[in-house]
Amino acid sequence: MDDLQQQSAMIKSAALKLGFSACGIAKNVFLEKEALLLKQWLASKYHGTMQYMENHFEKRVDISKLVPGTQSVIVTLLNYYTDAKPKNSGAPIISQYALGKDYHQVVRQRLMLLLKFINDNIGKTSGRAFSDSAPVMDKVWANKAGLGWIGKNTTLISSLQGSFLFIGTLMIDRVLHYDEPAADLCGDCNRCIKACPTKAIVQPYILDASRCISYHTIENKGSISVEFKGKFRNRVFGCDICQDVCPWNRQAKPHNNAELMPKPEILRLSKEEWHNLSEEQFNEIFKDSAVKRIGYKGLMRNIAFVS
């Protein structure tokens, strides 16, 4: 094992000790193929009202413009799968990822500890950490780092862990040993496409976000089209339907990260309690949750829509 391989192995080992589920490393390259696909996706208006997806195009496809001097992209995964379910049938449903503490802080804090490890044990290194908080095509980098492939439902899928995974990226100015991209193992399976109640997966690997339940319950700040009435299946923040039916999620095992554990006060809310939620209760229950992002009015709009 040469020095670069040894250094990369040290980084991956440290990432696992910090609680990440997996770690891979990719060489910084211009994302030529992805740039073309992104242009086509934006031209098709599949991003709906998410104007920010049009911003910083060059930084999305060339991270050297986002973090000058980047040589390597260290990618981490953090399992958030849980088998915990709402205690009351008929209660509104929020996506698994939002049942615990807001993942942005959890992932980024661990990435900063990983950067500190690199500086302390390998050598002086500059870098920046991101977790769904910048124009970074994190699923692409996860694939290039060998951690999984982008499935037909456009989520990252790991053959070992499924798709209930948070992605973190650490851009550093150090050359390392690089992993090979992961192969696509979706095969001829189309379960996610067939299961989507709003037909948001318009063809394999292409998502019309403007039809997605997650988009309408989180990103859409206006009214929700009556076209989708009765199709949200009680989802009021995010949607896991395309992941729930994915055969690769048979590999998913409940995580043991204390910070991401589902909050009991969310799971025990009855249908009536959801509908009668006060703003004060909302602020208390969701104070450190990703649900806080849509605000009290946004959540109550969604609850009313699925009623």
Residue 289's closest CA among 101, 153, 108? 101
Which amino acid is it at 234? N
Is the CB of residue 192 less than 8 Å from the CB of residue 246? yes
Residue 252's closest CA among 158, 111, 169, 123? 158
* Residues in a beta bridge with 75: 24, 169
> Which two three-digit tokens encode residue 165?
């995974």
Catalytic residue among 3, 83, 102, 132: 132
> Which two three-digit tokens encode residue 53?
């997806």
Calpha distance 22→75 (Å, rounded): 8
Q: Which residues 6+ apart lie within 8 Å of 256 measured at CB?
A: none
Annotation marks residue 132 as catalytic: yes
Calpha distance 286→90 (Å, rounded): 20
CA 235 to the chain's CA centroid: 17
**Tokens 């209660």 — which residue?**
91
* Catalytic residue set: 132
